[in-house]
Amino acid sequence: MDNTIDLLEKEHMRADLPDFRAGDTVEVHVRIVEGDKERIQVFKGVVIRKRGSNTGASFTVRKISYEIGVERTFPLHSPSINEVRVISQGRVRRGRLYYLRTRFGKKARIKERQFA
């Protein structure tokens, strides 16, 4: 029974998304429909969490806009997401970065991951 559900879910999953994790800075290009017009809006920020698996997976991106923190949760395999670009990869030691909600300025910075 589980195999058939996994096979059905696999058909609806996207394979074109890059591999990213909490701490990475990403640009999410979202398709916005206003009336009969359609446009693409870019939401750039730090991934503070990634949760779920298969088609139920989602990720939350946080950015600072006019000195106010804005968080947005995106379904990972949604057709409304046009593209996800990884800008930089952060070096963090945990999977959920909720502590960034209380920090601002230099205290909220995340070091970039270095590859040897």
- The pLDDT assigned to 42 comes to 97
CA dist 21 and 39 (Å) reads 27
pLDDT tens digits, one per residue of 51-62:
988 888 999 999
Is residue 1 pLDDT above 80, yes or no? no
Is CATH 2.30.30.790 what the domain over 2-102 is classified as, yes or no?
yes
45 versus 8: which is more confidently predicted?
45
- The pLDDT assigned to 4 comes to 84
39 phi/psi in degrees, rounded to 5: -140, 170
The answer to whether 49 and 100 are in contact (CB under 8 A) is: no
Domain residue ranges of the chain, discontinuous segments joined by +: 2-102
